[in-house]
Amino acid sequence: MSATPNVSGGVRFLSRNFGLPGQTGIESAMKRGAYEMLKRAVAMKPEDVTALVKASGLRGHGGAGFSAGMKWSFVPKDKFPRYVCVNADESEPGTCKDRLILEYDPHLLLEGALICAFAVQAERIYIYIRGEYFYPWRVMEQAIAEARAKGLIGQNILGTGWSCDVQLATGAGQYICGEETGLIESLEGKKGWPRLKPPFYPAAIGLWGKPTIVNNVETLSFVPRIFEIGAEAFAGMGSPKNGGTGLFSLSGCVKNPGVYELPMGTPLQTLLYDLGGGICGNRKLKALIPGGSSSHILKAEECENLKLDFESVAAAGSMLGSAAVMAIDESVSIPRLTLWMARFYAHESCGQCTPCREGTGWILRLVTRILEGRGRKRDVDDLFQIADNIDGKTICALGQAVAWPTKSYVTKFRHEFDALVKE
Amino acid sequence: MPKIEIDGKPVEVPAGTNLVEAAKLLNIEIPTYCYHPGLTVVGSCRMCQVEMEQNGRTSVVLGCNTPAADGMKVITTSEKVHTLRASALEFLLQNHPLDCPICDDAGECDLQNYYMRYGLHDSRVNLLDKIHKHKVHDVGPTVVLDSERCVLCSRCVRFCREVAGVDELGIFGHGMQSELMNPPGKRLENDYSGNVVDLCPVGALTDKDFRFKRRVWYMERTPSVCTGCSRGCNINIDWEIERRYKDPQRRIQRLKPRYNRMVNEWWMCDRGRYGYHAVDAPDRLTAPHTRSETNGQGALTVDLVLQRAAAKIKAAVSKNGPKSVAVIASPHSSNEDLFLLKSLFVDTLKVDTIDINVSKEETGKQDEILMKADLTPNRRGAEEFGFHSGKNGGMSGDDILSGALDGDYDVLIVVHHDLSRLMGPKELAKLDQRCDYILYLGTHENGTVPVADDVIPLAMSAEREASYTNFEGRVQKTAKPFEPRGQARDEWSIWQDLAQLLGIPWKYASAADVFDAMGNSVPSFKGLTWEGLGNSGKMLAGVPEPAYRKVQSSKPLPAY
Ligand code: SF4
Ligand code: SF4
Ligand code: SF4
Ligand code: FES
């Protein structure tokens, strides 16, 4: 881990304290205002806190882009206890931004999580950290201990009579535990098999059957900032229906990969060329994956005027997802990219439901066969059709996560596949 | 009660009923693998997808995880539903070994059945691409697993956890490498292990007892009741007598639980399941035995034995009165057996030295799931006929035995009980000396046979029509798949023949005849008829139907 995070060039709103000396310690964090917003929040009525977050237009930065305030308001009125789960199981290929928050500003996350817990009157916060994130675990562990020593976690927080504990938990490193119900199952000590829907919202029936808010690290970290500048100002920072900024993980064939903070709705060109320094070897951009490996691929011409917010990317035929932007230049073979993607999903399918368990492996074998030169013409059609048979027929979104890229790779770059197969 | 429509047919179902169950009421099949009405819903196989129209919107839903709600219109016959099913099947068959020719499940396999009904696609899979897993995996003393055939529906896992309350099977690994296994250090060895074979929709779990014994399409099925304990689980007897080349003695191939909501739901215990071997065991009594001469009248028959027994009884009663005859009857006997026994000895001959109970009765393990400690099927029935261990002024089996040792009786009749389990060899020899005539009626060779003067072989419950009253007071009947072994006879017919020899003109043609007579004369059987027992039995007159009870461990483990 380099000493200074690569967030240079973008705006420094969420990330403004990243890399400042001593920032992970509570003393310096508090000097810079940490937990002031918590104080402000606990002076309000919990439902007003939720209303404020709703008004800010804050969307989930974990992948689905669901309105955070809306999610909080789904908690049924008379059901207790309630829990907040911080989803720090960042595993979507291409995504590496939550890690920076965990490592550089743990108190920002803690503060946001506590405000959320206060808003929904939760008695416990679980921070579920990806199994491979050893260092972030240690930073968080330290931060929690410090906050507890200061009375910010535990009984009667800030004299409000509201008590809330924080507990760290980790998975064994499975992608599927980032799916919110998979995460909950794993937290319960079971195999991380996503739950069957309906019930759709853990907000009503979640951890141990109790109301549970599962939010991504970045999403919760924005909450103190909303209090700082007000909901309206926050909403004004982004584009319509997309409040505030976002952390964009830029990777692939760019000169300066890294995490960049940008207002929602920033043009892709800014990220790719102004900040990312353009395509490696000054080659031409061939395609773009805008929201992590599970999003539809966009051809270069489809993203010339792309704006980086949930609606614009959806309108272009893909999704912003976890805002992991991957640039693909002319030198990259799409069938090889398919192999890489299929390998990941075949390995990470939890194996619970038929289409995903069997389909991911089948896709992998088909692509392998095509790349090894053993492919038949019909294999390309089969590839699409198998992906289509998975799409929307699974328990959790991992099915789509493999189906969408596969289908879009095959449709948009069919000639590359056809060139590899015999008649 | 929500009203819904399935394929244009209206149906009203209790609230909470899912679409799969609702469709069953209309005889419409929604195919399933992971769903089982006795287990929690996991919705993982995706075979049950149907189209559903509600509030003007059509969507694809899982039949197993969608409760019927007023106004729903369900479509199971559309092109789309067909494609969804075919695709789920194609996925499941992708790595399937297709060893139907050597698979016990062939003929009753849901992969085969649904493929024929909903699949019928050509394979797109390169055979060499199939992945391989454990082929013959010994998961426990009763069951073998073939992982390659497993469709990972997790029914067996849920059964162990939710019904048996044990953690003996689990799905390990992930993605395509997922595999059913025993958790580390565990084996599938609970008392209900055999049920996972019934539950397995494919041939992944096979029963060691049945493995490679018979093709299922050669077997006949007869509904019956397990007589292994006083629960009386409903069962089917699967039997085959034409092709006995593998094991010429074996007529029963296997027992399967038969659904009865009020008794055993879908399950049965292993004690009952594998207990049938006694029926065709080599030590079955198949012919009458005697210690006296046959007077040159040719081969010994049951009729000859009965003539002698009748003479002995007549002589004893006229010489020393009814007190010189004693009977130790058995709670293994059916209602009809005990009714005629009681009518003959107690009501007609006025013998009151008669009972069923002995204190050294063999008992078994009991739990809150199904198994009862009382290993007899009809103690409750016997009590209804007045056999009460001396409670109603009569004598208990123990009293009778000690009386017999004192030489109190000229004639001692013993049914089923093995005296050699109740007394030592010295006492047995003494009994032999003190009793003028011992008649034994039983099913197997045992220590009583050598001391009996005459022995009559009895048919076993699997070979006869009979009714039994379980511990709760439910009267249930067995059907007769095949004739009793050798000269073995229905017990009630023995008493009828004996009665005729003693001058009582009984003419019961069948167990049904006896039962209906019983319904007319025994108060607790009032109103019950043989026909009326149906397939799931009836409570004794005046005994209320017990509350529904979900058959499961008191400590179920969560689904997963
Ligand atoms: S879609 Fe894949 S990952 Fe999700 S539940 Fe099904 S098998 Fe598991
Ligand atoms: S489980 Fe057995 S019978 Fe069924 S398809 Fe597989 S091999 Fe054939
Ligand atoms: S062994 Fe049979 S019951 Fe168990 S998971 Fe596999 S297919 Fe299902
Ligand atoms: S039966 Fe509904 S998903 Fe398996």
pLDDT, mean over chain A: 95
Residues from chain B contacting residue A354 (CB–CB below 8 Å): 44-47, 88, 91-92, 151-152
- Measured between CA atoms, the residue of chain A closest to residue B154 is A352
- What is the rounded CA–CA span in Å between residue B6 and residue B9? 5
Q: Is B152's C-beta closer than 6 angstroms to any atom of ligand 3?
A: yes
Amino acid (one-letter) located at A246: G
Of B45, B171, B560, which has the smallest distance from its Cβ to A354's Cβ?
Answer: B45
How many angstroms away from the CA of A388 is the closest CA of chain B?
A: 10
Ligand (nearest to CA of B46): 4
Give residue B77 CA to ligand 4 midpoint distance, Å: 17
| DSSP conformation class of B157 | H
Tokens (6 digits) for B408:
């109190």
The candidate with the shortest Cα–Cα distance to A247, out of A229, A280, A225, A231, is A225
> What is the number of the ligand closest to the CA of A402?
1
Q: How far is the CA of A288 from the centre of ligand 1 (A)?
A: 26
- Residue for token digits 């013993």? B414
Q: Is A187 in the pocket of ligand 1 (CB under 6 A)?
A: no
Backbone angles phi, psi at B200, to 5 degrees: -65, 120
| Partner-chain contact B176 A358, CB within 8 Å | yes
Q: Which of B40, B82, B91, B155 to mutate to test the interface with A (most CBs of A within 10 A)?
A: B91
Q: Which of A174, A354, A356, A372 to mutate to test the interface with B (most CBs of B within 10 A)?
A: A354
**pTM for the whole thing?**
0.94
Q: How far is B423 from chain A (nearest CA, A)?
A: 55
Residues A288-317 as b/e (b if ≥16 CB within 10 A, e otherwise) read: bbbbbbbbbbbbbebbeebbbbbbbbeebb
User: How far apart are the C-alpha atoms of A156 and B76, rounded to whole Å?
Assistant: 56
Contact: A394, B46; criterion CB under 8 Å: yes
> What gap in Å lies between CA B61 and CA A393, rounded to an integer?
9
- The CA distance from B143 to the nearest CA of chain A, in Å, is 23
Which of B62, B174, B177 lies at the smallest CB-CB distance from A174? B174
Per-residue pLDDT 10s for chain B (560 aa) are 999 999 999 999 999 999 999 999 999 999 999 999 999 999 999 999 999 999 999 999 999 999 999 999 999 999 999 999 999 999 999 999 989 999 999 999 999 999 999 999 898 888 778 889 999 999 999 999 999 999 999 999 999 999 999 999 999 999 988 999 999 999 999 999 999 999 999 999 999 999 999 999 999 999 999 999 999 999 999 999 888 777 778 999 999 999 999 999 999 999 999 999 999 999 999 999 988 765 556 688 999 999 999 999 999 999 999 999 999 999 999 999 999 999 999 999 999 899 888 888 889 999 999 999 999 999 999 999 988 765 656 788 899 999 999 999 999 999 999 999 999 999 999 999 999 999 999 999 999 999 999 999 999 999 999 999 999 999 999 999 999 999 999 999 999 999 999 999 999 999 999 999 999 999 999 999 999 999 999 999 999 999 999 999 999 998 76
Q: Which atom of ligand 4 is nearest to the CA of B30?
A: 1
Confidence label for A2 from pLDDT (cuts 50, 70 and 90): very low
pLDDT at A375 over 80: yes
Joined together, the tokens standing for residue B4 give 């819904």
Please state, in angstroms and rounded to a whole number, the distance separating the CA atoms of residues B118 and B87.
Answer: 9
Q: Cβ separation of A196 and B43 shorter than 8 Å?
A: yes
Higher pLDDT, B387 or A288: A288
The whole-angstrom separation of Cα A58 and Cα B448 is 86
* Ligand 3 pocket: which of B159, B193, B202 to mutate (most atoms within 8 A of CB): B202
The number of beta carbons lying within 10 Å of the beta carbon of residue B434 is 17
Lowest-pLDDT choice from A47-51, A139-143, B112-116, B396-400: B396-400
What ranges make up the beta strands (E) of B271-426? 289-290, 325-328, 354-355, 411-415
Residue B78: per-residue pLDDT: 97
Spell out which residues of chain A touch residue B43, defining contact as CB-CB under 8 Å.
196, 353, 395
Cα-to-centroid distance, A169 and ligand 2 (Å): 42
Answer whether residue A1 shows pLDDT above 50: no
Show residues of chain B in contact with A353, CB under 8 Å.
43-46
Q: Per residue in A335-349, pLDDT tens?
A: 999 999 999 999 999
Question: Is the Cα dihedral B26, B28, B33, B34 positive or negative?
Answer: negative
A4, pLDDT greater than 60: no
Instruction: Judge contact between A353 and B49, C-beta under 8 A.
Output: no
| pLDDT at residue B98 in the model | 86
Distance B145 CA to ligand 2 centre (A): 13
Helix and strand element counts for chain B (H, E): 15, 22
Nearest ligand by distance to the CA of B153:
3
Q: Which atom of ligand 3 is nearest to the CA of B33?
A: 8
3-state secondary structure of B303: helix
The response to whether residue B99 sits with its C-beta less than 6 Å from ligand 2 reads yes
3-state secondary structure of A362: helix
Determine the 3-state secondary structure of A260 from DSSP: strand
Q: Which residue has the tokens 């019983």?
A: B518
Q: What is the pLDDT of residues A382-414, one digit of tens each?
A: 999 999 999 999 999 999 999 999 999 999 999
Whether residue A349 has its Cβ less than 6 Å from ligand 1? yes
**CB A260, CB A7: distance < 8 Å:** yes
Q: Is B61 on the interface with A (CB under 8 A)?
A: no
Q: Nearest Cβ partner of A359 from B45, B91, B151?
A: B91
Instruction: Name which of A190, A354, A369 is nearest B44 (Cβ-Cβ).
Output: A354
A196 to B44: CB separation less than 8 angstroms, yes or no: yes
CB pair distance less than 8 Å for B46 and A355: yes
Residue B519 makes CB contacts below 8 A (sequence gap 6+) with: B525, B526, B527, B528, B529
A198 and B65 in contact by Cβ < 8 A? Answer: yes
- The span from the CA of A245 to the CA of A259, in Å, is 13
Radius of gyration of chain B (CA): 28
Q: Which residue of A has its CA nearest to B80?
A: A389
What's CA A260's distance to the chain center, in Å?
Answer: 15
Ligand 2 mean position to B148 CA, how many Å? 10
How many angstroms separate the most distant Cα atoms in chain B? 90
Q: Is ligand 1 within 6 A of the CB of residue A353?
A: yes
**Is the shortest distance between the CB of A350 and ligand 1 below 6 Å?**
yes
CB-closest option in B41, B126, B178 to A196: B41
With the CA atoms of B465, B467, B471 and B473 taken in that order, what torsion angle do they form, in degrees rounded to the nearest 10? 150
Helix (H) or strand (E) holding B520: helix B511-521
Contact assignment for B87 to A393 by CB distance below 8 Å? yes
- List strand residue ranges (DSSP E) for B174-233, in order: 179-181, 205-207, 220-225
pLDDT, position B16? 95
Cβ of A375 closer than 6 Å to ligand 1, yes or no, is: no
Q: Is B507 exposed, middle or buried (0-12, 13-18, 19+ CB in 10 A)?
A: exposed
From chain A, the residues in CB contact with B32 under 8 A are none
Residue A23: phi and psi, rounded to 5, are -60, -30
Measure the CA angle with vertex B21, ends B16 and B23; round to 5°: 120
Local structure of B244: helix, strand or coil: coil
Ligand 3 atom with least separation from CA of B154: 5
- Are A265 and A312 in contact by the 8 Å Cβ rule? The answer is yes
In A, minimum Cα distance to B151 occurs at A354
Report which bound ligand comes closest to the CA of A294. Answer: 1
Contact between B45 and A357 using a beta-carbon 8 Å cutoff: no
A349–B176 C-beta distance less than 8 A: yes
Task: Report the pLDDT averaged over residues A9-31.
Answer: 93
Q: Is A352 in Cβ contact with B44 (below 8 Å)?
A: yes
Ligand 4 centroid to residue A267 C-alpha, Å = 44
* Inter-chain residue contact A355 with B95, CB threshold 8 Å: no
Residue with tokens 């003190």: B434
Is B156 close to ligand 3, i.e. is its CB under 6 Å away? Answer: yes
- What are the angstrom distances between the C-alpha of B353 and each of B260, B356, B437? 38, 11, 15
A172: confidence class by pLDDT, cuts 50, 70, 90: confident
Backbone dihedral region for residue A292 (phi beyond 0: left; psi -120 to 50: alpha; all else: beta): left
pLDDT digits (tens, 9 = 90+) for A298-315: 999 999 999 999 999 999
Residue B188 Cβ inside 6 Å of ligand 3? The answer reads no
CB of B151 closer than 8 Å to CB of B92:
yes
Alpha-helical segments (H) within A230-281: 231-237, 268-269
